[in-house]
Amino acid sequence: MSTEALYAKYDLLLPSKFNGGYLIIALYEKIKNREIEEYFTQKEINEILADIKDEFNREPIRPWNNIKDNLFHYFLRSHPDEPWKYYLTGYAKDLIDLIIGKLENSYKSHPLKKDVQDTFTIHHNEINTIEELTRKFGRLFIQGSKKIIDDHLEALEDELREAYKELNDILRREDVQSATSLVQAFTIVFKKFGERAEDITEAIISKDKFLGDLQNVVDQFYRKMEDDGKFNTDNVPKSKSDWEKAREIYADIRDFFNLVDRKVYIIRRQINHASEKLTELQEQFSVRAFFRLQIKKLHRTILESSEYTTNGIKFSNNFPLKQLVYEPVRMLYPVYYEFEPPKPNIVINVEVDEIYERDEKEKIAKDINRQQVINQWVDKAKDILESQKSLLVSELMTRIIEEEKDLSIAYQVASRITAYASENIHILIDVEQKIITLSQQNLSLWKTRIMK
């Protein structure tokens, strides 16, 4: 399927929330909870749409008759024997399972080290033939295990991203908390990073050990090929083929683990960034402690500067107003003196160069006249094209050269008439790969005919 077709069917494959998306999710949940049957009716659909409208305060929400045509492409089907009943398609169930699996990934609570060790482990004398190696670690047999590791890393990255957001929320809380409660909340979240960092380290150690063991297996096939080359030459082709297959399996798994290393590097950077939040927490404690000290000083000053009278508490010494020592800043700088008298400005009258002026005017007049001649020839060429419906560029240039005695004028006219023809969709330019040399001119061009 082309990308253009995918764009055209995108809204059908993933409908918007209030255009059937929430309806499909609600139907899936009610069927799963046995609140409605596998084959449901339009009445149940209308009840669910009404519930969605009330829950999300959506006014108005699109009725069933307006959204059913889109949903019948991929999400809903009619019962073959009872047309008034409907059921969810396999695509609808798979899509919602995919969404739920993304949000409730079971790998978040499952150690990465265990997944690596369960699949990528070679015991002593476990693999002796190429068939055993292919059956255990061949590309077709290892795809499921690779998918498990990929899903686990994706779940781990999502979990750390959520924990990182929780750390930011803790630091940005506006309500005043005690240092003990703040540190306790921070520790609970930050504990995830420590556990995941330890799990990743152990998984990497297991991965490196497995690659070493697998390399030893590949080396065994290579040594067998060498031995067959010395003592059993008839078996060399098979042993060489076994070694090449083993090397391909090792290269495939090594490339996969290189991708894993890159993903682990990104996860480790998230963990390192989370450690910076500890510094922010320390700074927050420092600022809060400094603020409390200032409050205590202010409280002590208030008590020292106040007295109780019959009219209530009064402050002495004009508290809280205080006089501050202030002195204007003085800027000292040396004075600049002019010891020499100023030099007078001299105006020089330049005489008019009549010869130069006359030459320049002649050049300007010549250029203007030349441009007028070019415009006239361009108009003549257009008239020829309108009347005769055909114009040969070489003949036009030859005629201009004979009358004007100037090759540049002919070249300018040919260029402008060609540009005019290129911009007009009703005019055709036919270029034949045949060189034509203009008479008495050092110029050659393709045979070009302009037709209308």
Cross-sheet strand order for the sheet of 40-41: 40-41, 85-88, 76-78
pLDDT at position 174: 46
Cβ neighbors of 277 (< 8 A, separation 6 or more) are: 164, 167, 168, 171, 186, 190
Distance CA 263, CA 257 (A): 10
Omega before 15 cis (within 30°)? no
- The predicted pLDDT at position 23 comes to 86
Residue boundaries of the structural domains of the chain: 3-103, 107-297, 363-451
How many alpha carbons fall within 13 Å on the CB side of residue 384?
17
* Amino acid (1-letter code) at residue 61: I
Phi-psi region of 36 (alpha: psi -120 to 50; beta: other; left: phi over 0): beta
Q: What is the pTM of this model?
A: 0.43
- Which H or E run includes 24? helix 21-32
The answer to whether 21 and 27 have CB atoms below 8 angstroms apart is no
Q: Any idea which residue has 């500067």 for tokens?
A: 305
Tell me the three state secondary structure of residue 366: helix
Q: Which residues contact 79 (CB under 8 A, 6 or more apart)?
A: 39, 85, 86, 87
**CA distances in angstroms from 270 to 53, 71, 261, 266, listed in the order given:** 40, 41, 14, 6
Nearest to 137 by CA among 246, 261, 38: 246
The closest of 27, 32, 85 to 51, measured between CA atoms, is 27
Query: In the prediction, which pLDDT does 400 show?
Result: 80
Tokens of 301: 């000053």
Dihedral sign from CA coordinates of 67, 73, 77, 83: positive
Residue 343 backbone phi and psi in degrees, to 5: -80, 135
Cα dihedral across residues 261, 266, 271, 276: positive or negative: positive
Alpha helices by DSSP H, listed for 138-235, are 139-171, 179-231
Tokens of 24: 């499909």
- Give phi and psi for 128, each to the nearest 5: -125, -20
Judge contact between 427 and 381, C-beta under 8 A: no
With CA atoms as reference, report the closest residue to 41 among 97, 93, 82, 9. 82
Count CA within 13 A, CB hemisphere, residue 140. Answer: 3
Number of neighbours of residue 450 by Cβ within 10 angstroms: 24
* Gap between the terminal Cα atoms of the chain: 43
Q: Tens-of-pLDDT digits for all 452 residues of the chain?
A: 556 777 878 888 888 888 888 888 888 888 888 888 888 888 888 888 888 888 887 666 677 777 888 888 888 888 888 878 888 888 888 888 888 777 766 665 666 667 777 777 787 777 888 888 888 787 777 777 777 777 777 777 777 777 777 767 766 664 555 555 666 666 666 666 666 666 777 777 777 888 888 888 888 888 888 887 777 777 788 888 888 888 888 888 888 888 878 877 777 777 666 666 666 666 666 676 677 778 888 788 777 777 777 777 777 766 555 556 667 777 777 777 667 777 788 888 878 888 888 888 888 888 888 888 888 888 888 888 888 888 888 788 888 877 877 778 888 888 888 888 888 877 787 777 777 776 666 667 777 888 87
To 10 degrees, what angle do helices 21-32 and 90-103 make?
A: 90
Place of tokens 């297996």: 217
